[in-house]
Amino acid sequence: MPDFRFLDYAVADRLAIITINRPPHNVLDIATMEELSLALDRAAKEESAKLLMITAAGEKVFSAGVDVMDHTPDKVVQMIDVFHGILKRLMVYPLPTVAALNGSAMGGGCELALACDMAVATEDTKIGQPEIKLGVFPPIAAILMPRIMPLPRVMELLLGGGLISASEALGLGMLNRVFPRASFARDTRAFLDQFLGLSRVALMYTKKAVREAAGKPFFEALFTVEQIYLKDLMSTADAVEGLNSFMEKRKPVWKNK
């Protein structure tokens, strides 16, 4: 098991938690991102985990993004390889993922949140992609933002580099919930609990079905999802247990955890 210098890693109550811990702004330099990649691999192998949460230490900034010093010509290729490797990993991650934004998410910090399946934030969180102000653009945001929100707003955010409030991000579909800072930890846990009581394999196969159907024509997508349902999910003990518990009017006892 690797030891982490810039991250905290824990698994408790069926939840894997990766906490970026590089104060004061949780900037993602190459070393931190390499650790994040290792932590993602480790969490994916946790047989007790049903969900992965990525959050950060502190109360003001989730992450100010990738270290500007790693954008220089001698480092940029390595930086892109490591950072995009993390985001590509998240796009095909087996467990459902949630970004818990305890503060502002800017640049690469915003892209990290976009790559997660869901996101929650404190009410005072600011979100945006200011890269244009440095003469560059955010590749991942350029792909993922148009899948979530109207193109004119995407263009405004990417071309202008401004930050938006958590409430506006919620309205645009970037966030699932916005919570008061004072109750953020408690409210986030309540949000996660709705998933943590469910079957691990059902959660994973549902995510797989959504991911593999995305972008395909309807009948091709339906065939893909049918195969996941019939060949993967229905062969598990949990699928049988869920149906039996309903008919027997009792609470299910998940065998696949």
Confidence category of residue 70, pLDDT binned at 50, 70, 90? confident
Q: What is the pTM of this model?
A: 0.94
Q: Three-state SS string across the chain, please?
A: CCCCCCEEEEEECCEEEEEECCCCCCCECHHHHHHHHHHHHHHHCCCCCCEEEEEECCCCEEECCECHHHHCCCCHHHHHHHHHHHHHHHHCCCCCEEEEECCEEECHHHHHHHCCCEEEEECCCEEECHHHHHCCCCHHHHHHHHHHCCHHHHHHHHHHCCEEEHHHHHHCCCCCEEECHHHHHHHHHHHHHHHHCCCHHHHHHHHHHHHHHCCCCHHHHHHHHHHHHHHHHHHCHHHHHHHHHHHCCCCCCCCCC
Residue 77 confidence (pLDDT) above 70:
yes
Domains of the chain: 7-196 (3.90.226.10), 200-247 (1.10.12)
Residue 214 confidence (pLDDT) above 80:
yes
